[in-house]
C-alpha cells in the first residue's frame, strides 16, 4: 500500500470511528457566518428567540471547529509518526558526527515519500494555527447572545 493510500485509510478510519459512535459529526453551514458576523445594528433589533437561535447556531459552530481541530491534530500525529518511521530507517546512512537536524532535513529533502508527508504535516500545522482560539471566540459570542436573550 502506498503512502497516500495509508494516509487516506487513516483519515477514513478516524471519520468512520467518529460517525459510528455518533461523536459530533457537524458540518459547516452558511448560517454560522450570519450568526458570527452580526453587526451592532442587527443585534439591537433581535428578538429573544433570535438571540437564542443564533446562540445555538454559534454553539454548533463551536462543535464543528472543535471537530475540525481534532481531525487536524490527528493528521499531524499521523504525519509525525510516519516521518519518524522513515527517519529511523534511514538515519544509519549518515556519519555519526552529523547533527540530527541535518540528518532529518536531508532525509526529508531526498526521500519523496518523506517530502510528501512533511508537506501534509505543514498543512495540518498551519490549519491548527489558523483555528487557534477560534472556538473560544465563537463560544464567547454565543454566550453573549444567550445573555442578551435572557434580558429581553
Q: For position 72, what pLDDT does the model report?
A: 93
The per-residue pLDDT for 43 is 93
Report the pLDDT value the prediction gives residue 112, as an integer from 0 to 100: 92
Helix extents (H) in 91-111: 100-110
pLDDT band at residue 22 under the 50/70/90 scheme = low
Q: According to the model, what pLDDT value does residue 29 have?
A: 83
Q: How would residue 56 be classed by pLDDT, with cut points 50, 70 and 90?
A: very high
Nearest 5°: the CA angle 118, 75, 85 is: 55
Instruction: Show me where the domains of the chain are located.
Output: 3-151
The whole-number average pLDDT for the span 49-54 is: 96
Confidence of residue 25 (pLDDT cuts 50, 70, 90): low
Distance from C-alpha of 90 to C-alpha of 84, rounded to nearest angstrom: 10
Region at 95 (left for phi over 0; alpha for psi -120 to 50; beta for the rest): beta
Q: State residue 126's pLDDT score.
A: 95
Residue 11 binned pLDDT confidence (cut-offs 50, 70, 90)? confident
pLDDT in tens, 63-118: 889 988 988 999 999 999 999 999 999 988 888 888 989 999 999 999 999 999 99
pLDDT surpassing 90 at residue 123: yes
Q: Is the pLDDT of residue 12 over 90?
A: no
Angle ∠(56,60,63) on CA atoms, nearest 5: 145
Amino acid at each position: 500500500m502506498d503512502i497516500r493510500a495509508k494516509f487516506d485509510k487513516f483519515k477514513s478510519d478516524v471519520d468512520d470511528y467518529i460517525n459510528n459512535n455518533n461523536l459530533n459529526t457537524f458540518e459547516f453551514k452558511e448560517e454560522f457566518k450570519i450568526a458570527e458576523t452580526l453587526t451592532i445594528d442587527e443585534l439591537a433589533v433581535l428578538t429573544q428567540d433570535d438571540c437564542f437561535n443564533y446562540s445555538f447556531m454559534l454553539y454548533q459552530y463551536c462543535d464543528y471547529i472543535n471537530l475540525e481541530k481534532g481531525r487536524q491534530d490527528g493528521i499531524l500525529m499521523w504525519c509525525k509518526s510516519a516521518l519518524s518511521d522513515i527517519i529511523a530507517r534511514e538515519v544509519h546512512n549518515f556519519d555519526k558526527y552529523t547533527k540530527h537536524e541535518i540528518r532529518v532535513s536531508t532525509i526529508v529533502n531526498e526521500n519523496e515519500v518523506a517530502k510528501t508527508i512533511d508537506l501534509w504535516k505543514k498543512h495540518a500545522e498551519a490549519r491548527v494555527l489558523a483555528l487557534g482560539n477560534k472556538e473560544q471566540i465563537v463560544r464567547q459570542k454565543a454566550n453573549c447572545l444567550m445573555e442578551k436573550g435572557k434580558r429581553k
